């Protein structure tokens, strides 16, 4: 299947309540253009420089999602245009996003990345720390940052029950603070586990290799 056929397939099978972020990291702009022409508007990248180069070359109505780990000193490059920063996992980064948003006279949407996987390698705030962070309303001190919800990555495993349990844990946290923050985005699910994520409340899936092929 071609890129455009994959895009059309996902637009058809995903529930209306779920936004598809097409993860285009490492792929050439021609691949993104093909997806765009098939109706895709949300794209996810994990490197700020690569995202910025693509943003300059592609249609301006694309919504750019930074899904990778963000170095504080690079926030300024995406601050003028980024639509949603998924992997915010520390206060220092919130402060810098707020500062750069202010410099650009805008509000920047973010998600708090919560560590739900049992693996050691994944980024994200541990669940108990995330709970404190949300409870303490720390984010209220940063008016140019808008917290839209949570993001999580499940373990890379064949064990579907484990994946489901990890998605349940982030959904529980999401529900607990849903009203307080007027959350509308739970970013969970990738090529291999998006259907489990949707069963557990995902409103945004990040799908790369199943659309654009392996990297
Ligand atoms: C690369 C990446 C994805 C997409 O992964 P696929 O398995 O290719 O769908 C999703 N989320 C994050 C954070 C990623 O880095």
CATH number of the domain to which 123 belongs: 3.20.20.10
From the CA of 209, give the closest atom in ligand 1. 8
**Rounded distance from Cα 160 to ligand 1 centre (Å):** 18
Q: How many domains does the chain have?
A: 1
Looking at residue 123, what is its pLDDT? 85
Which one, of 90, 116, 123, 134, lies nearest residue 189 by Cα?
116
- The pLDDT value recorded for residue 122 is 61
pLDDT digits (tens, 9 = 90+) for 62-112: 999 999 999 999 999 999 999 999 999 999 999 999 999 999 999 999 999
- Does this model's pTM top 0.75? yes
Q: Which ligand 1 atom minimizes the distance to the CA of 25?
A: 1
Q: Is the pLDDT of residue 5 over 70?
A: yes
* pLDDT(121) > 70: no
Among the listed residues 213, 206, 170, the one whose alpha carbon sits nearest the alpha carbon of residue 191: 206
124, 87 Cβ separation under 8 angstroms: yes
Tokens of 11: 């637009």
**C-alpha to C-alpha distances, 66 to 52, 84, 135, 146, 203, nearest whole angstrom:** 10, 6, 25, 15, 17
Question: With 0-12 CB in 10 A as exposed, 13-18 as middle and 19+ as buried, what is 56?
Answer: exposed
Q: Is 46 in the pocket of ligand 1 (CB under 6 A)?
A: yes
pLDDT band at residue 119 using 50, 70 and 90 as cut-offs: confident
With a 6 A CB cut-off, is 209 part of the ligand 1 pocket?
yes
State if residue 191 touches ligand 1 by the CB under 6 angstroms criterion.
Answer: yes
Distance in Å, CA 189 to ligand 1 centroid: 9
- What are the pLDDT digits (tens) for 122-144? 689 999 999 999 999 999 999 99
Distance between Cα 154 and ligand 1 center (Å): 11
Domain that holds residue 176: 3-212
Query: 71 in ligand 1 pocket by Cβ < 6 Å?
Result: no
pLDDT tens digit string along 13-54? 999 999 999 999 999 999 999 999 999 999 999 999 999 999
Q: Which residues of 157-180 are buried (b: 16+ CB within 10 A; e: fewer)?
A: eeeeeebbebbebbbebbeebbee
The reported pLDDT for the residue numbered 43 is 99
């Amino acid at each position: 299947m071609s890129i455009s056929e994959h895009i059309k397939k996902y637009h058809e099978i995903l529930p209306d309540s779920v936004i598809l972020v097409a993860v285009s990291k490492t792929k050439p702009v021609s691949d993104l253009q093909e997806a765009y022409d098939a109706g895709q508007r949300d794209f996810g990248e994990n490197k700020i420089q690569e995202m910025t180069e693509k943003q300059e070359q592609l249609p301006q109505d694309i919504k750019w999602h930074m899904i990778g780990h963000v170095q504080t000193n690079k926030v300024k490059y995406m601050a003028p245009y980024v639509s949603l920063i998924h992997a915010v996992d520390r206060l220092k980064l919130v402060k810098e996003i707020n500062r750069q948003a202010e410099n650009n006279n805008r509000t920047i949407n973010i998600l708090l990345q919560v560590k739900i996987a049992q693996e050691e390698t994944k980024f994200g705030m541990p669940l108990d720390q995330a709970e404190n962070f949300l409870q303490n309303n720390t984010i209220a001190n940063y008016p140019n940052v808008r917290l839209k919800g949570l993001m999580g990555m499940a373990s890379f495993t064949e064990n579907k029950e484990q994946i489901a349990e990890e998605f349940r844990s982030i959904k529980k946290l999401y529900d607990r603070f849903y009203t307080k923050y007027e959350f509308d985005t739970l970013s969970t699910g990738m090529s291999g586990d998006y259907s489990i994520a949707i069963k557990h409340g995902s409103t945004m899936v990040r799908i790369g290799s199943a659309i654009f092929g392996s990297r």
